[in-house]
Every structure is written in C-alpha cells, then in structure tokens.
Structure 1
Amino acid sequence: MDVRLLGEVQLLAAGRQLDTGTPRQQAVLAALAVEPGRPVPIATLVDRVWGDDPPAEARNVLYSHISRIRGLLRTAVVFGDDDPGRLDRRHAGYVLDIDPERVDLHRFGRLTDLGRDPDRPAADRAAALAQALSLWRGAPLAALTGDWAAGVRQTWQQRRLDTVVAWARAELWLGRTDAVIEAVPPLIAEYPLAEPLEALLMEALHLAGRDAEAMDRYAAVRTRLAEALGADPGPALRALHEAILRGEAPGGARTPPGRAVTVPAQLPPDVYGFAGRTAQLRELDAVRAATPARPVAIDGMAGIGKTTLAVHWAHRAARHFPGGQLYVNLRGFDATGDPVTPAEAVRGFLDALDVPPERVPAGLAARVGLFRSLLAGRRVLILLDNARDAEQVRPLLPGAPGCLAVVTSRNRLAGLVTTAGAHPLALGLPPAGEARDLLAYRIGGRRVAAEPGAADEIVTRCGRLPLALAVVATRAAVAPEVPLAALAGELREAQGGLAEFTDPDLESNVRAVFSWSYRQLSPAAAQLFRRLAGHPGPDLGAPAAAALAGAPVAAVRPVLDELTRAHLLERAAGRYTLHDLLRAYATELAGTLDPEPDRAATRRRVLAYYLHSAYAADLLLNPLRDEPAAGPPPLPAGTTPERPAGQPEALAWFGAEYHVMLAALRGGADDETVWQLAWVLTRYLSYHGRWHDSIEALSAALDAAGRLGEPAKAAFAHRYLGCAYLRLRRLDEADGHLTEALRLYREAGDIVGRAHTHRHQAWLLEVRGRYREALRHAEQAVELFTAAGHRAGRGRGLNAIGWFHAMLGDYAEAVTVCRAALRLQSAAGDRFGQAETWDSLGYASQRLGRHREAIDAYRTAVALYQEFDDRYNEADSTASLGDAYHAAGDVAAARDAWRSAAGLFDLIDHPGAAAVRARADT
C-alpha cells in the first residue's frame, strides 16, 4: 500500500487507487499518516480536522471516519496487499501502524537525509535528492482546508525548496550545469522570490560560459524583488553578481597579495558512539543551507547531549565552511572556574586567526570589530559551547552572512532568539530506540542483542539520559565479562538514586553535572526544585507547584519559568515534568538541606491540594453523591485548591490530574489519604472505563480501610471493586466483593449502602442471565432507598425494576415503571440516572415497535452520557441506537451509529468493539 500526501491525498493498493472518501475522511487519514507508528491523541485529530471550532458531534464523526479507513485497509488485502498496515487504538491515541516508507512524505524525508549525508559520494547524494523530488505531485494535502493542512503545506513547500537547492548544488559540484539550467527556471516560476534558486541558476550559467544570461537573470530578479517586496537582492546574490562581473569563480574568496590566510580547525574530536538525533541533524542542515544562515541556539537539560550533537554536526558540516571552524567552551555552568568573558573568547578567536598580539585591541568593542572584519568574505563555523546567557554570546556572533554560529546552553536563550533572530533548537530526551542504539554503539551491538531485556532495562533506568547511558556504558565496556543483567540489577537496587552514575571524571558525573545548573538558581527556585521531590509525579500544573511552595500561583510562575529556562524542569502543554534522575537529585538535596518537618509539610500541602480540588471537581460530576463519613483534611496554610467552574472544567481537571493521584496512592501516603484519594477517583475512572486503574485504587483503599479498622470504608471499596470486576466480566470476583460489601453494610446499619449494593447485585445477575433474581434485588433496593428517604436512589432502583421487566419480556410494564423513574430523577436533578433510564426506555420502546420513540430515547441517553464524558455507557447506548435505526429500516444511520460505538469502545480498550464493528460491516 502507498499513502500519498504530496499532492492530493491518495491511497494505493497493489497499484490500484482506493476511494479515500470525503475531504474530512482524507484529513483524518493524513493526520494519522504524517506520524506513522506513533499514537495521535483524539484531541489532536479533532484539531487537525476541524481546527478551533469543531462541531458537537466531532468525536462521533471522527470514529466513523476511522472505521471507514480501517475498511480501506481491509480492501487493500482484497486487492493483493498482504501487509497494508493496521489502524489501532492505543492508550495515547490512534496509531496508523504502517512502514513510514509507504508514506511518500516520509520517503521524501529519508531520501533528503541521504542526499545531505556528507559521507556519501556526491553522485549518490544527487541521485537521492532527485529521487525525492520525483515524489512531488503538487502542494501537500492539496484538497484539504484548515490551519493544520496549511501549516503542513507551508513546511513541506519549504522542505522541497531546500531539497531543490541541495540537489542543484550537488549537480554543480559534479559539473552538470545543463541539468541545473534546465530544471531550475520552472521552479523559479513557482518560487519567484527564492533568491537561492536564482543564485544557483546564475552560477550554472556562469560555469557554462553564459555570463550575459547570468547578468540578465540578476537584472530580472532585482526588478521582481523591488516590485514584490520593495527590497534589493540579498548579500549573497549581490556578492555572486559582483564575483561574476570580476570574472571570479562563484563563491571564490580573494586573498590579499603576499599574505596567507590561516584556516582554524578548533573543533573538539567527534564524539565516539554518536547515535540518532536524525531530525535535529536535519534541522541544523536546513539552517546551514539557508541564505543568510541564522545563529542556532541549542538548549536542553544537563546531560541531554547538546555538545555531543553540536560537535558531531559541526564535523559533518565542516566542508561547507572552507574558512575554518572556531570553538570555545564558555564554561557557563562550569564547577572549576568562572565563565569565560566575551573579551577572553574573542581574544582566543583572534589568536586562532593568526592576528599578531600587537594588533589585538584592548577594548571589547574594538576586538569584536576586528574579529568580524576578519570574517568578512569567509565561510567560518563558530561553535559557542556551554553558554550561560545571551549577553555572553552576542559579542561573539559573526557579522558576515557566510558564517554560522551554533550556541549550546542549559538555559533557553530567548533573548538571542529575539534580538539576533537565532533559530531555537530545544533538545529533548532521545526515543527509546535511539537510546538503545547509543548503548549499542558504546558497548557493541552483539552484546546488546545477546541481552535485549537487560539492555532495555538499562535504558529505562537511565531515563534515556545520554550522559547517564554513557556512564553505564563505560562501566560495561571496561568490564566485558560482566553481564548486562548484572548492571541492570545494580541500577534496580539503586531504586532511582544517583549512586550508580558516578565517575571519577567530574564532567561524566551525573550528580556533579546537575549541581552546576542547581548552583545558578535563585534561592526561591532552588527551594522549589528541592520541594519537587515531594510531588507524587509524573507531572504537575502551576497550582500544584504553588502548593509545594506554599505560595500563590502568581508568585510561583516566575520561579517555574526560571527552572524551565535552566532545563531543570520541562514544560509542555501547560504541564511541568521532572526527569527521573533530576528527581533523584532533588530528593538527595532535600534530604540534606531541608529538615524533615519542612518536607512533611510540603507533602501535606500538595496532597491536600489534590484532595480538595478533586472533591470540588467530583461534586460537579456527582452532585447527588453520597458523602463519606469524613471529608478531606483541613487545608494547610499556603494551599489553594482549584474550584472548576462547571462539568467540562471538572472533567478536564481530572483528565490532567488523575494519574498524579494514582501515583500518590502508590507513593506511601497515609491510610486515610489513600482511602480518600480512591473515593474521589472512583466516579471519574468509572466514566472513562479505566477499570484496571479503578481496581488498583480501590484495592489500595480496601487495604487502608482494613488497617484503619473502619468497616464502612471497607464496604465502599468492596462495592466498587465488585462494579469494576463486573465491567471486566470477572463475575466470580465481582460476586465475592458485592457479597462482602452487603455483609459489612448490614453490620454497620447503613441502609443506603445496602440499597446500592442490591442494585449492583442485580446487574451482576443480569449478566448471568438470571433476570427474576435480578428483579428481586432491584425491588429490595427500592424498598431500602424508600425507607431511607433517598429519592435519587429510589429513581435509579425503579429504572432497574423497569429494565428487568423488559428483560423478562414485559415491555409495557417496563415503560410504565421507567417513566415513573424519570419523574423522580427529574425532580431530584439526577441527570446521570436519567441517562440510564432513557436507555431502558429505548430498549423497551424498540421491542414494542415504537421505533421513533426508541431512537429519540437512545439519542437522549447518549447526549446525557456525553455530559459526563462516560465513554462506556455512551458507547453502549450508541450501539443500541444503531440497533434502533436498523429496526426502523435506516441502514445507513445504523452503520454510522455502530461505527461510532466501536470507536468509543476502542477508546477504552473494551472488547465490545469487535462485535459492534461486525454489525456495521455486514
């Protein structure tokens, strides 16, 4: 199968073009195909297809499109493609599991990488670039609208232009001027303001002895730029024009008579065992190819491999800078001395350029002026390593357009981006595959292949941090007789500490390297960094950080910004993450510098923040909830919980924070807090079908209740564990927990708890097909709810009675009872209960042949479940809606509903997806 995105979106199987459907369906296919093999979240897909204003039914429509795309993949098999790929639902989103080589856009990228590889012969590079350009059928995603498609088009149009320039340069290097003269003019018609294309054409004409035509081209482009932009040609094009007029070879630099030019070569040795970073190398290549090139500012956390990347790329790119390469370690975070001043750095560059000592000026401004004068007309690469801030770097930037400065720093040099137009390149952790490759390069691929599990564990326990991997790899290399499993075991025993990452060489000691960044922090940032060790993880928002600090959010944001600039924290989508090894370092510092009472107070504040915020959010999802015997603990001073404004905000808060509360459950919180966290998570986890997370949380709550000696809390945990096991169809376990819950509620005299448990036992009996017994339990539940004066519970119990009448074939009675339930639930404001009852009414009405009533009832149920983002019940009612449409004779609407239901079941990895999808495909 072949996915084509360069032009209109197309899908080919065994050479036959498939019908990719409407533009929306093509947009879904494209949104998945640009990231083959990687999960694309639902929210991202919706944003790519509809932009900032998606329709209310966007998710349902999306599931329908996904179902149709799966059908196309199955069609590809029919046409003879044995392995067309898969479209799977994973935890993080939908994945188009296909070889990237089958997507023309990714083939284009791979071929351009080959064409820019300086280690390949020039003819091979030119051939690879030509092959990449042959894939171009037109503007990418040509028929699609919206900001995302426009952004993709803009990015890849620029990639194409860069590739054309690289191909033409390769052809000229090989002396193939005719190919350039023939191919470039049509491209200039597409890119009339692209000066690099005009420069290459002028150079080709000059090399072919056609200088008059080259001059005509210059006159034409000068007129075109003046009319379109009101500007003259850039420095590079003007210099080429002047060189041709003087009769020089394009790009040639004149040397003053009688004076040799010193070509510095100051780069450190290339790093042994470099692996991966393909995208970053390509990005650096693109900046270098631009005219004029912008400075590059590479930033990232300590040990991430900034210098390694910069030095490796500089060696690859050195041939493009015949004027030489300058290097200085600015020691911005050095433990052994003060940072290098700009005056010292420029003096070193002047020495490298063979300026006699007596000609070196005393003042910084004069030195910088001489330095930049010496670079004029030359192509020099300048690597400014380990910069502390933008002020240290600005005087060292060249003024010549042919030169390029690459800066590395642990801080984000935003000032350099703003004032010097620097290209920012934020370096993150390498993917697991690249980290594994790094280990293999250092210790040998055979050794890694012999113990793949141990190698993967080493990568994981090093947190994919290149410096940590290098330290462990060194230990493995000097002791080849030690199995990797033994090294992995040592890391496991260290339990996330830094003891295994020490090295006599200070530059290779992870703890020491981290300390160089930590010592640069303000007191407030240093304190918050240490307090981050008390956060359950894995990430946090600014309000949680404020709870750790014991300060208002407004006061903490600048501190978080400081930690982010220093790459001791990473920020993405409004959340902050702390690398595992940095967390270990923060824990060490906190244990050394902060008294235990202070650390305990930090933990209490952050747990209180989560509990109080979650209670407020849960109340919006469950306004009729039965409160536990005791609410959350009093708020400690300096803690401000969040108060979501409504149901959508409450769902969003839980979506961002539930995994943090699960981590707190596992992280040694006291028993009371563990039980409260589980209690407040139960409804949200149920709505989202996270049954395994529910079982983990409720099992912890059950153990905590046992240690607290509180049977009522144990009863709650048993009841909801029964519900979770019931959803997973583990019926014996569900039965055991519900039976125990009923016993404990009876001993405690809790009538409402007993009523709820009878209702859940009724559902269990329904799954087992024992409807009359289920009806008796539902009736007992109503009796108990009535005795307790629990109106909402009585409404839900009546719905259960109505449902079981329907299961027993008494549909008219079911409708009567369910309508009575709706009246009670409406009076009580129980919208979730109403959703359940409308679903029951839909079932009974359909069996009575009242198809329109059934359809309306199911649609009402679906809309209500959507309010709660209850994906399981929304999927179940949507599948029933499909059945109602089918019974009414509307086959197309039925299939759309079934496909939507299957997509919803996929979201929660529910096995019901296959059966519903089978209905849609028949």
Structure 2
Amino acid sequence: MAPELCVLGQVELRVDGRLVEVGHARQRCVLAVLLMEANRVVTMEQLLDRVWADRLPHKARAVASNYVSRLRRVLTLAGDVAVVRRGGGYVLEVDPEAVDVHRFRRLVQQARGRDDARALALLEEAEGLWRGEPFAGLDTLWLAAVRTGLERERIAAQLDRIDVALRCGQHTEVLPELFALAERDDLDERVAAQFMLALHRTGRTADALAHYRQLRDRVVKQLGTELGITLQNLHQRILDTDPALILPSAAITSETAAGTEKPVPRQLPVPPRWFTGRSTELARLDEALTAELAEGPQPASTRSGTRAANTVVISAIGGAGGIGKTWLALAWAHRHLDRFPDGQLFVDLQGVSPTDEPMTPAVAVRGFLDALGVDPGRIPTDPEAQAALYRSLVAGKQMLIVLDNAATSKQVIPLLPGSPTCAVLVTGRIRPTSLIDRHCASYVNLGVLSPAEARALLAARLGSDRVTAEHDAVDELLELCGGYPLALSIIARIAATCPGLPLTELAAELRELGLEMLDHDIDPAASLPTVLSWSLHRLTGERRTVFALLGIAPGPDTTLPAVAALTGLPQARARKALTALEEASLLDRRPGGRFAMHGLIRDYAAATARDLPDDLRETALVRVLDFHLHTALAADRVLDPNRPVVRPDPPAPDVHPLLPADFPAATAWLTAEHATILATQRAAAALGRHHVVWHLARALDTFHRRQGYRHDALASWRAALNAADHLPDPATRSRTHRNLGRACSRLGLHVEAARHLDRALVLAVQCCDTAEQAHTRQQLAIACGQQGDDQRALDHARHAVDLYHTLDQPVWQAHALNVAGWFAARLGEFDAAREHCSAALARYRRHQHPNGEAATLDSLAFVAYRTGDHRQAVDHYHRALALFRTHGDAYEVANTLDRVGHPHAALGEHAQAHAVWQEAWRRYQEQGRDDDAERVRRQLDDLILTVASARSKKSWDRHGDAWGS
C-alpha cells in the first residue's frame, strides 16, 4: 500500500489513490498536528494547546487520547504509518515522503545548489503538491499560524522558481505570472526586480523603468524609506543597457553549467562535550525557532506592526562572563543541524576580550563571503555592497548564523540576513537593547546552573563514582561555586588532573582562597577573575567605582536609595549606573526594586574595591550604614510610636533616609531589608562604628519581638553589648544587658538571662536610674515566670509597678500592671489579677496603645478561662488576636492562638479549637519554637482522641437503645 497524507489543502489520507475517511473536523485537527510534527514527539500539553487552545473540553486529556486511539485504527489501513506513545506524548511514525508538506520542503531544499534545469524541475514538482489552502476547513489558532507560515513558504518557493526560470531564459513564460504577483504585492522588491527584468528582456524596457518609478513613489510615500540597493543597481543597469541582463549571468552559469555546487559552510565549532542541564533555556530557543519557521517569508505588502514582515526572528543569549552563553548556543545549534541544511556561519565578534577591540561588521561580512565560496575577484570593495552581497547569497536559504560574543546591537545589525528562512543566534554580555526593541529578538538571560545541573556537570567530568563517594565535599564545592559554570569547570579541571586529590581538600582550599583559586596566570580564559575583568573595560570610571563599592556594601542585595547613599550619587545617576551594570550582566534586577550580584561576581567586585582609596571606601560605607540605621529607626518609630526616642548621631552628609509612611510600609521595609540590616550591624562593628551597632539592635528590637526572630534578636543584642563597652553613657550598658537578658530568656537560656538581668539591675541602681530599674524588674518578672517561679515573678512585677508610679509614666505602669495581673492569675489570685489587668486596660485605651490593650485582653481571657467563664475567655482572646494581627505581632498571635483553643474545647467547640491550634502549631514551627510546636501537636492529638471517643460513645448509645427496644 502507498499511503499519501495531505495537509496542503484538505487534511486527507489516501491509500493507493483511494480516499480514507479520517473523521470529523476536530479529529482531522489532531491528525494535522501530528503530521506537521511527523517523527517528532508531540506532548499532551502541546496537543491540547494546538487543537483546543483555551477552550478545552471536559476531561480534555481523555478526549485527546480517545481521538488518538481512533486515528490509530484509521492509520492501520495505511500500512507503514503508526501513532506511538513516547516521551510523555505521541509520535506519528511515517516516511516523510508520504506527507505532502515534508515532501514539499525536501524538494525546495534539494533545488538549492542544483543546476538550473534540475532546480526548476524540483521547484515545479514542489509547487504541484499544493491543492489549495492548507488545512482547508479547519480553524484553530495554531493551525492558522502554521497556515500563514506555509503560505509564505509557498510564495518563497514560487519566487525561487521564477528566479531559476529567468536564469534559464523563460522570461516570456513567467511574465503573466509576474503581472499578477506585482499587482498583488505592490511593495515587494524581489517581485519588482523579477518583473522589471522580465519586462526588459521581452523588449518592454520603458514599462520596466515606469514600474520602478511607481514602486519608488509608493515606498517613499507609505514607508518613508528608499528602495534597496539591489533594486537600485538593477534600475541603473537597465538604464545603462547592461548586456549581461539580456542573457543569464555568466558568473552563475559558469558555476552551474558543469553541475558544480557552491560549498555549504559548516563553521560551527565543536559542540561542548560536558554540556549539562539548561532544559528551560533550550526550550525557549526551540520556541523561537518554531515561531520563526511557522511565520516564514512574507510579501512586503503585508508589512505592519513593530517588526517588518521580512525580518528574521533573532534569539539572543545574555549573561555574565563564564556563565555558559557560547556553550548553550553551540549545544542548541548542533542539536538542530537538520533544520539548517544550507549551512551554518559562525563568528567570534570579540565583543569582550583581553586586549582586542570588537570586530567590525565589515570584517565579519568578508569572512562570511569567503565561507560562502564567493570568488575574491567578485567581492565589491564597498563594505555596504559586501553586506548586500552577503544578504543576497543567504536569501531564501535555511541557514543558521551564530554571532558569538557581540559587544553591542550596532555591531550585530549589519550582519542580520534579510531572509526569514535564516535563523540568527547572538551571544554577548551586554544586553542587545536595539535587537530587542527594534528587531523583536527573543532574549534569554542566562543564569547559574541549578544544584542538580551543577552536580551532573561534576559527575560528567569526574565520574559518578567519585562524586558519590565524596558526597559531602561535593555539596560544599557546589555551594562555594554557586552554580557558576566556569567556576565548576575550573574545579572539575583541577580535580580531574589530580585524581588522587581528595575533594575534601579541594573544598577546603576553595573555601580558604576563594577567587584566588579560580585564577590562572597563563590562560586568561581559564581564570574567572580575568574573564570577569573583561566586562569592566568598556564601563566608565564612575560605573566601575559603583561596581566595586557594591562588592563591599553590606547585605545580600540592595536598592536604588541605598546605592545612592553608598556612592554619594544623585538617584538619577545611580539608577543609570545600576542599569549599565545590569546590561553588562554584572548585576541582576530582582522583584521589589532590588539588585543583587552572584556571590563570585560580588567577590570580584570586592577585590577591585581594594584598588580604591581607603578614604573613599570608608566614606561610602559610613554613608550606607547611616542610611540603613536612620531608615530602620524611622520604621521602628512607626511600629511603636509610644517607645521613648533615643537619638543617634545625625547621618553623614548626602544621606537621605527613607521615612515609611505607615505601619504596612514600615513592616514591609524591615522585612525586605532584614538580612541587609543584620549585615549592616556586622559591617559597623568591623568599622568601629559602635553607636551604629547599638542603635541598630534597638531599631530592630520591636520587629524581632513581633516576628518571633529570637535568634536574630540574640545575635543583635550580643553585638550591641560589645559596642556598649565603647560608648560613654553607662545607662546604655544597663539597657543592653536588660535587652540581652530578655533575648536569652525567650530562647530558654535562663542562666545567661539571669546573669545579664542581674547585671542590668546593678548598673541601674548604681546610676540611680529609676526607669531602668523598673524596666529591669519587669523583665525579671517575665524571666522568673518562664522558669516557673510565679511568686517571685509577681514580686518583681509589683516592684516595677511601684517604681513606674513614682515616674508618672502611665503606659509603663500599665505594662507592669498587666504582668502582675498575669502572674497573679497563674497563682490563683483571680480578684487581684482582674484588678491589675482592668487598671492596665484602662491606661492602654486612654493612651491609645493597641498592643498593650491586646496583651491585657489576653491576660483577662486567661483569668476568665481559669474561673470557668469560657465564653468570655473566647471573646477576650479573639479581640486580642484581632489587635495582634492588625499590628503584625506574629509572636503573640501564636501564643494567643495556643491559649484560645482551651476555652473552645471546654465549650465543646472542637472544630474551632482544632483550627486555632493548627494555626498556632504552624506559626510556632515558622518561628523555630519547636517545644511549643510539639506541645500544641500533642494538644491536637488529644483533641482528636476526645472527639473520636465522644462519637464512639454516641454510636454505642444509639445502638444500645435500638438493641434494648
């Protein structure tokens, strides 16, 4: 049986010339998709998208599978055709010659490079396969796009045939066809050239010149441009009555007369042997190629939108030096050699190199002309004419042009072919903005390898046995390299050339030496610092300084206002510097207006900062420290406006701290900058800026307490204690010991907490600081309570109440009253507890202190629960929860959720108890409060057992009644 599968018209199956019924329209759509991708996997997701798009049927996968099953049964009639499952999708296995569209493309490809007589026959055969509009009667978004692309391929093949026919002297035969094409595509310069040549050869030179004038008028009026150089040259040759126009070109016939084919360039370098991963990026490049080939050539009359219809779609790969751009380009190119049968051109444009200037486009074009086999004697001397000849030679061919290591879009644009049958792949460290903006290039910003990809790279280089045997050392190497391909390759090279070297030693050396180990004195391309240094060559001095300062700025990332403070630049200039570094692939822009460097690039930036003057570095650090300190203090004042203001030194000149407008803004800023502020405190300690260290601990204190960041609070106050020894005010040391004691107490470090709190009390007494004595007494109460000594806790709290009373500080007194009320309730003194807490609640409400109000409602709820008033307990707890949630106190939200579950359970509200305990358990886990989380988990288990037991008893009672009756 001889099957024929057709899509260039109706989607049909014919066996020995007999039409076989395929099925309804949607089933023919499925067949069309499989035919277009013959012998290639079509995933289920692709099939659903191409057949139904966003209008999927109910149980779409099952429907699609059903259609495929029906097609299998139909295709059994065709003999050597089958649909098989493979790779998570379907493959239609078929001889491509049995499918008209693939036979059409094969004939068109074969025609290129053949002698004119053979080429003409092949192209005529290809055009004869068309029986109307592709996929006639079928209408899906994907098929419509492919249909448009196929129509363009048909037109391109038609124009190729006319070119060959003109070379064969068939100008009279093609003239009627050209009349129709010129009328339909009245801006297409290729059609115009063919039409003018045919008219001239048939003796209608005046008509040819008139057509040129009319076309030029339309182009100037409608497009605002001049005609192309090729058409202008043809016009001049007609005016000059060039005798070579009368007969086919001698240059062409001499090459083809003996059947000699022009060389097919195969310039791609060897593919990377150790290439791993990058599946997402490879898929994006595949998508660009698919879109390009689907669009295909377009008549000039259809030009519209932001991209000219006859402009090739370009893929650009950007990223830092050593990130693997060229590897990705070559790996992708070698996987798609079959899509570019007319050859591949490759050039290193030397955009970033140790000493050389970037290659000029003229030099690259001349290299391409040599690769395309042009006789040196026929190459024009004018660079623009050379570029025009290059574009003419690749026109209509399926070629890949790889422009590696480009410096700018300006260097690339003259090398772009004019034919949409070609594909262009550009790599470079500088983002090609003009290619993206004006030529709609698809851009792949290449990042580091994932941990799995990085491990696979080492395994490929070193062998899986070695990588498995030293798993921990490999983990450390992966962490130190951060997925950076060049760093991983350098480490792999060292390890592979020293097979007896344990990877643990290699990891220790890398940890100690850092970038120094990734350097190489002899081979610049094998040195990560050297490769990165090339990116700085074309930056201005100011931008190189910004890059260096970013390497020593505290924190894992930064923002524009912080960079302005660091550099002392106005924000507009700082923004331009950041943009330049981002476009040079030295900096990544992240959500929320943040900028970050890869760790190894940051290490290199810090190394370059050592070349800056010492005073410049220190001044920059002082500015950014002051920016973070004063913004953090402003945010803290928004979080707790009742807190006493303790003012640090004023910020350095040209530092403009942010002033968060409200509670959400302050919380958001502190959350986003938390890691950076902690790093700022460490940097301030290293610089000896002791007042910054202490004030940052205080600025973060409220945020740390409310978010439950207990370990960060401990580290922050320990740093503050070291700084306090260098500060003149003795009260500062008392405050620091007190806050450090509280941080220790929250983490269960009771011995250390007691030592710091006792020291704080001694210092406060020595300084006759009544307020600090009261604060410390109150904290001692809480610390004693955490150790289970409620009576001693109550004594400290009442002592604090008395001290606050002498100071006439009602809010502070309310704090102590609430603490006293809590411990009185713990001791069963419920009347005293209510009295203390009610007094505290009145003061908090009078002075508008919602967090204090929430804490006191929590205490009153505990009193109500312990005295059996479970409904009032629930009400108080939920009012407290609402206030804590409103003011972002995650720590106390967890505590109150834990407590409210008990009265819910006592009231038989088991679902509510389960919900609040479930949330409390989750919050405790998030805050690292493992003991509390485990306790709540046991409460949940007990609750479930209680509910299950109650249900079982009810069931027994019901059955017992039934049995008794």
Kept in 2: contact 1:202–1:215 (CA 8 A): no
RMSD after superposition: 4.1
User: Does 1:839 pair with 2:858?
Assistant: yes
Partner of 2:134: 218
The residue identity in structure 2 corresponding to 1:513 is: V
Note the alpha carbon deviations across 1:371-415, whole angstroms, 9 max, x for none.
Answer: 233223322122111111112112222333332211111112232
Kept in 2: contact 1:235–1:401 (CA 8 A): no
User: Does 1:332 pair with 2:248?
Assistant: no
SS at match of 1:218: coil
The residue identity in structure 1 corresponding to 2:316 is: A
Kept in 2: contact 1:205–1:214 (CA 8 A): no
1:334 is displaced (CA, Å) by 1.8
The residue identity in structure 2 corresponding to 1:239 is: E
Partner of 1:916: 936
**Where do 1:489-500 residues align within 5 Å?**
489-494=508-513, 496-498=514-516, 500=518
**Where do 1:765-844 residues align within 5 Å?**
765-844=784-863
SS at match of 2:573: helix
1:642 to 658, 663, 667: 658
Partner of 2:680: 664
Q: Which moved more, 1:238-247 or 1:779-788?
A: 238-247
User: How far apart in 2 are the matches of 1:850 and 1:913?
Assistant: 27
1:133 is displaced (CA, Å) by 6.5
Note the alpha carbon deviations across 1:667-696, whole angstroms, 9 max, x for none.
Answer: 313133222222222221221111111111
User: How far apart in 2 are the matches of 1:302 and 1:131?
Assistant: 36
User: How far apart in 1 are the matches of 2:722 and 2:56?
Assistant: 59
**Where do 1:219-258 residues align within 5 Å?**
220=136, 233-239=147-153, 258=259
Note the alpha carbon deviations across 1:826-856, whole angstroms, 9 max, x for none.
Answer: 2233222112111112222333444443333
Note the alpha carbon deviations across 1:766-786, whole angstroms, 9 max, x for none.
Answer: 233322222111101111111
Partner of 2:248: none
Partner of 1:56: none
Q: TM-score, normalised by structure 2?
A: 0.71
Partner of 2:487: 468
Note the alpha carbon deviations across 1:250-285, whole angstroms, 9 max, x for none.
Answer: xxxx99773414221111122232222222222222
Kept in 1: contact 2:156–2:396 (CA 8 A): no
* Higher RCO structure, 1 or 2 (CA under 8 Å, sep 6+): 1
Note the alpha carbon deviations across 1:861-919, whole angstroms, 9 max, x for none.
Answer: 22222233221111111233333333344333333322222332232232233443554
Kept in 2: contact 1:221–1:233 (CA 8 A): no
Partner of 1:896: 915
**Where do 1:505-654 residues align within 5 Å?**
505-573=523-591, 574-592=593-611, 594-628=612-646, 631-654=647-670
1:378 to 389, 392, 397: 397
Partner of 2:267: 266
**Where do 1:158-169 residues align within 5 Å?**
none
Partner of 2:900: 881
How has the CA–CA distance of structure 1 residues 656 and 920 changed in structure 2, closer, same or farther, with 3 Å as cutoff? same
1:641 is displaced (CA, Å) by 0.8
1:236 is displaced (CA, Å) by 3.3
User: How far apart in 1 are the matches of 2:910 and 2:826?
Assistant: 25
Kept in 2: contact 1:871–1:905 (CA 8 A): no
**Where do 1:307-326 residues align within 5 Å?**
307-326=326-345
User: Does 1:501 pair with 2:546?
Assistant: no
Kept in 1: contact 2:481–2:600 (CA 8 A): yes
Kept in 2: contact 1:801–1:814 (CA 8 A): yes
SS at match of 2:554: coil
1:658 is displaced (CA, Å) by 1.8
User: Does 1:203 pair with 2:117?
Assistant: no
Partner of 2:436: 417
How has the CA–CA distance of structure 1 residues 202 and 486 changed in structure 2, closer, same or farther, with 3 Å as cutoff? same
User: How far apart in 2 are the matches of 1:682 and 1:415?
Assistant: 49
User: How far apart in 2 are the matches of 1:130 and 1:840?
Assistant: 59
1:615 is displaced (CA, Å) by 0.9
Kept in 2: contact 1:462–1:581 (CA 8 A): yes
User: How far apart in 1 are the matches of 2:698 and 2:651?
Assistant: 18
User: How far apart in 2 are the matches of 1:393 and 1:131?
Assistant: 36
User: How far apart in 2 are the matches of 1:687 and 1:283?
Assistant: 44
Note the alpha carbon deviations across 1:344-370, whole angstroms, 9 max, x for none.
Answer: 212212211112223333444433333
Structure 1 residue ranges without an equivalent (≥5): 1-114, 145-152, 181-185, 188-198, 248-253
**Where do 1:66-105 residues align within 5 Å?**
none
Identical aligned pairs, as a percentage? 37
The residue identity in structure 2 corresponding to 1:535 is: A
Q: Which moved more, 1:710-719 or 1:641-650?
A: 710-719
1:655 to 667, 671, 681: 671
Note the alpha carbon deviations across 1:39-90, whole angstroms, 9 max, x for none.
Answer: xxxxxxxxxxxxxxxxxxxxxxxxxxxxxxxxxxxxxxxxxxxxxxxxxxxx
Note the alpha carbon deviations across 1:529-579, whole angstroms, 9 max, x for none.
Answer: 122233112111111100111123233111111111111211101111123
How has the CA–CA distance of structure 1 residues 731 and 575 changed in structure 2, closer, same or farther, with 3 Å as cutoff? same
Partner of 2:461: 442
User: How far apart in 1 are the matches of 2:436 and 2:594?
Assistant: 23
How has the CA–CA distance of structure 1 residues 899 and 419 changed in structure 2, closer, same or farther, with 3 Å as cutoff? same
The residue identity in structure 2 corresponding to 1:389 is: T
User: How far apart in 2 are the matches of 1:776 and 1:828?
Assistant: 26
User: How far apart in 2 are the matches of 1:315 and 1:419?
Assistant: 28
Partner of 2:213: none
1:243 is displaced (CA, Å) by 6.5
Kept in 1: contact 2:127–2:157 (CA 8 A): no
User: How far apart in 2 are the matches of 1:200 and 1:795?
Assistant: 89
Note the alpha carbon deviations across 1:3-61, whole angstroms, 9 max, x for none.
Answer: xxxxxxxxxxxxxxxxxxxxxxxxxxxxxxxxxxxxxxxxxxxxxxxxxxxxxxxxxxx
Kept in 2: contact 1:331–1:338 (CA 8 A): yes
1:308 is displaced (CA, Å) by 1.6
1:508 is displaced (CA, Å) by 2.0
Q: TM-score, normalised by structure 1?
A: 0.74
1:137 is displaced (CA, Å) by 13
Please identify the structure whose Cα radius of gyration is greater.
Answer: 2
SS at match of 2:404: strand
How has the CA–CA distance of structure 1 residues 507 and 624 changed in structure 2, closer, same or farther, with 3 Å as cutoff? same
User: How far apart in 2 are the matches of 1:410 and 1:751?
Assistant: 63
1:396 to 415, 418, 421: 415
**Where do 1:859-878 residues align within 5 Å?**
859-878=878-897
User: How far apart in 2 are the matches of 1:245 and 1:299?
Assistant: 37
How has the CA–CA distance of structure 1 residues 223 and 497 changed in structure 2, closer, same or farther, with 3 Å as cutoff? closer
1:301 is displaced (CA, Å) by 1.3
Kept in 2: contact 1:206–1:244 (CA 8 A): no
User: How far apart in 2 are the matches of 1:783 and 1:141?
Assistant: 74
SS at match of 2:403: strand
Kept in 2: contact 1:471–1:503 (CA 8 A): no
User: How far apart in 2 are the matches of 1:744 and 1:761?
Assistant: 15
Partner of 1:4: none
1:309 is displaced (CA, Å) by 1.4
1:321 is displaced (CA, Å) by 1.7
User: How far apart in 2 are the matches of 1:834 and 1:505?
Assistant: 69
Q: Which moved more, 1:583-592 or 1:846-855?
A: 846-855
The residue identity in structure 1 corresponding to 2:101 is: E
How has the CA–CA distance of structure 1 residues 210 and 285 changed in structure 2, closer, same or farther, with 3 Å as cutoff? closer
1:417 is displaced (CA, Å) by 1.4
SS at match of 2:342: coil
User: How far apart in 2 are the matches of 1:726 and 1:590?
Assistant: 42
